[in-house]
């Protein structure tokens, strides 16, 4: 029988690999779609598709929340962060009507950097990946703000803020 600690570490590594594989698929789809349709259409199609997937996940994950539950939605999101939050470590700011996350590490971005993606394409891929979050959180009706990585943004990743719809 496998030691539970070894098993947990193996599962953690496999999960990280699965997210990196997702990153590679995004990168390759972007390349293929760009070659066929041009950069603008390729990005728009990927954003539309990934945003739709975010809405699908929100329908199940956040069905019990409404547009004035931003802090609770944010806490629920953090509670299911992959690998106990280790995959996407965040700095979190909380208030009565708002919750904000500064993602310090993203396995998607890490995979793109390791693949040698240049800064412009990296920013495009981050925008595309950020469409999932937009679909996920906007489906709840809360106010959603997201700043994805761009050159000069620093070593971290995206910054997400959720605010109650009726907050001042």
pLDDT digits (tens, 9 = 90+) for 37-77: 999 999 999 999 999 999 999 999 999 999 999 999 999 99
What DSSP assignment string belongs to 71-129?
HHHHHHHHHT-GGGGTSS-EEEEE-SSEEEEEE---HHHHHHHHTT--HHHHHHHHHHH
The Cα–Cα gap between 6 and 27 comes to 32
- Per-residue model confidence as pLDDT tens digits over 14-43: 999 999 999 999 999 999 999 999 999 999
Distance CA 69, CA 64 (A): 10
Fold held by 4-163: Muramoyl-pentapeptide Carboxypeptidase; domain 2 (3.30.1380)
Tokens of 48: 């539309």
Per the model's pLDDT, the better-predicted residue between 5 and 132 turns out to be 132
R_g (Cα) of the chain, nearest Å: 17
Confidence of residue 154 (pLDDT cuts 50, 70, 90): confident
Determine the length of the chain: 168
> Within a 10 A sphere around the Cβ of 32, how many other Cβ atoms?
11
Check residue 147 and report its DSSP letter. E
């Amino acid at each position: 029988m496998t030691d539970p600690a070894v098993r947990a570490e193996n599962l953690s590594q496999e999960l990280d690999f699965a997210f990196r594989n997702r990153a590679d698929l995004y990168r390759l789809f972007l390349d293929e779609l760009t070659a066929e349709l041009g950069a603008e259409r390729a990005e728009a199609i990927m954003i539309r598709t990934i945003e739709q997937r975010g809405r699908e996940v929100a329908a199940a994950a956040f069905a019990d929340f409404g547009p004035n539950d931003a802090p609770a939605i944010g806490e629920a999101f953090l509670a299911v962060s992959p690998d106990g939050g280790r995959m996407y470590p965040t700095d979190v700011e909380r208030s009565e009507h708002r919750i904000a996350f500064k993602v310090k590490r993203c396995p998607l971005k890490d995979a793109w950097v390791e693949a040698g993606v240049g800064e412009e394409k990296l920013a495009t891929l981050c925008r595309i990946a950020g469409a999932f979050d937009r679909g996920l959180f906007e489906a709840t009706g809360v106010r959603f703000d997201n700043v994805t990585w761009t050159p000069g943004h620093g070593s971290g990743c995206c910054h997400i803020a959720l605010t109650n719809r009726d907050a001042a």
